[in-house]
A and B are shown apart, each in its own frame.
Chain A
Amino acid sequence: MKPAPTQVLEVLALSLMADVAAHIDDDYQRSALQISAALLLGAREEFDRAAARRVDENRALRELFTAARPVVEDEPLRTRLVEAAATVDTTLLVPDLEHANAELRALLIDLHIHVETLSGDAAHALDTAIWRELRVSTDRRRLSLAVF
């Protein structure tokens, strides 16, 4: 698709901010337009990475679940982890990847809750690995326009 959607979104956003907004007298409409332009810039940044970051994260979560299996003491949870670790992303369509991601992140919450009840070095290491993955998850989602 040429010109690249990222270029089109960026040009549109900057045009709305710099050219169009300056000609709108109504404060509310001008503000809404500027916010809309910022959203276009966010969509532009997400466009290229959308599938990649979800694939990366789903893979990382499945690997984490595999590593967690020997530490987990709750049998039903261990079964769910094994099943989730065995899943694969069969398409690169973003809604499908997103759906899988939501299921994996929900399971991550259950795993985290369980790990918090455990003691010992292995549990501590797993807890550390979960927090590391959570930190990386925010790196994957970060937008340039966000303050932090």
Chain B
Amino acid sequence: MELQDRLAAYARRRLDAAAAVTVGGLQRIHGGASRETFRFVLRYRQAGREVERRLILRRDPAGSLIETDRAVEFAAYAAFHGTAVPVPEPLWLEEDAHHLDHPFFIMEELVGGEASPLKLFEPPFGDHLERIGHRKWTILGEIARRDTSGIDAMAPITADGAWRRELARWEGVIDEDQLEPQPIIRAVIRWLRRNPPPPAQRISVVHGDYRTGNFLVTTEGNILGILDWEMAHLGDPLEDLAWSINRVWNWARDDRAGGLLPRSDAIRIWEDSSGLRAAPEALHWWELFSCVKGQGIWVSAARAYHDGRNLDPIMAIPSWMQGNSQDRAALELLGHLR
């Protein structure tokens, strides 16, 4: 049976009070590299009413850019849906692989937004970069504000344990997946251990990949939704701030963080919104850590492609285009670039 038919069969089980359940327009899209992403239209009749919903299927692949837990990603959407942090409504989480060959979840599709960072610098989005940037870091502050209680899918962590766990995790990824020695990132890891950061001011939900390219923007410069929560976890909110201003996301090829705003403006907006302070020494630690994490992601993608587990070109390009940039970002942060 084709995927579209199997998806319709699954929806029928879930919508037991509905009739005439059909799935149409199934189309794969690039949407985060750790799961296969499809958009589709679900139609059904319920309580005498015809319903049509545009939805997104996120299905685990055989090999991915990063190994992540779909339940955590689903929980992140559930935690923020209906709050000041715009996210699509999560509908169904399915851990049983027999329905669609792999575990998956389904959520609402947010229609009418653009995510591609390169398109943001063209009309009509290019006229609204400051506005987009202001919303971007305001929303990130809102994420940091959210009470973490009730998010059981995310492993708890202490204020002093957050940096240790994340550093160990990404060092482990590099140990496991590197295809060649990484002298710059290894030196960074040693520096990070010699110079630990202060404990987190607060343990928050960390999006994990909060950057230009992972949110949808309208033509008026509003942010329609924050996507790609596949690396979400509890931790130090400075982790997200540091990742969001990492050099490798400066898509405009200048000093504007995320291609949107001066770095100092981004930090100030985040501080105002979160109610937290980005102490320079602490932020510096997390910015360097971002380079370790970034390199971990790039070497993982290269490994999956190298091993033939996933030959999607999106797995090959990060190592080529981002890996060296990530090293240069680390050198700049340590004062060794010039």
Contact = CB atoms under 8 A, between A and B. Distances in A.
A and B from one complex: yes
Interface of A: 26-28, 31-32, 35-36, 38-39, 42, 98, 101-102, 105-106, 108-109, 112-113, 116, 131-132, 134-135, 137-138, 141-143, 145-148
Interface stretch (B2-10, B131-139, B322-330): B322-330
Nearest to B180: A102
A148 B183 contact: no
28 contacts: A27-B27, A28-B27, A35-B317, A36-B313, A39-B316, A39-B320, A42-B317, A42-B321, A101-B180, A102-B180, A105-B180, A106-B181, A108-B181, A112-B183, A116-B190, A134-B184, A134-B187, A134-B336, A135-B337, A137-B327, A138-B327, A142-B328, A143-B321, A145-B321, A146-B324, A147-B247, A147-B248, A147-B251
B318 to A, nearest CB: 10
Given A38-B317, A135-B331, 4 more contacts: A35-B314, A39-B313, A102-B181, A105-B183
Contacts of B183: 105, 108-109, 112, 134, 137
A147 B180 contact: no
Contacts of A143: 320-321, 324
A137 B181 CA distance: 13
Nearest to A116: B190
Contact of B181 (A38, A42, A105, A116): A105
A109 B181 contact: yes
Contact of B325 (A39, A116, A146): A146
Nearest to A31: B30
Nearest to A30: B30
B190 A147 contact: no
Which of A28, A106, A131, A142 has the most CB atoms of chain B within a 10 A radius of its CB?
A: A28
B250 interface: yes
Contact of B27 (A26, A35, A131): A26
B336 A147 contact: no
A61 B117 CA distance: 38
The 8 A-B pairs with the shortest beta carbon distances in the complex, nearest first, are: A28-B28, A105-B181, A35-B313, A148-B325, A141-B324, A131-B336, A106-B181, A36-B313
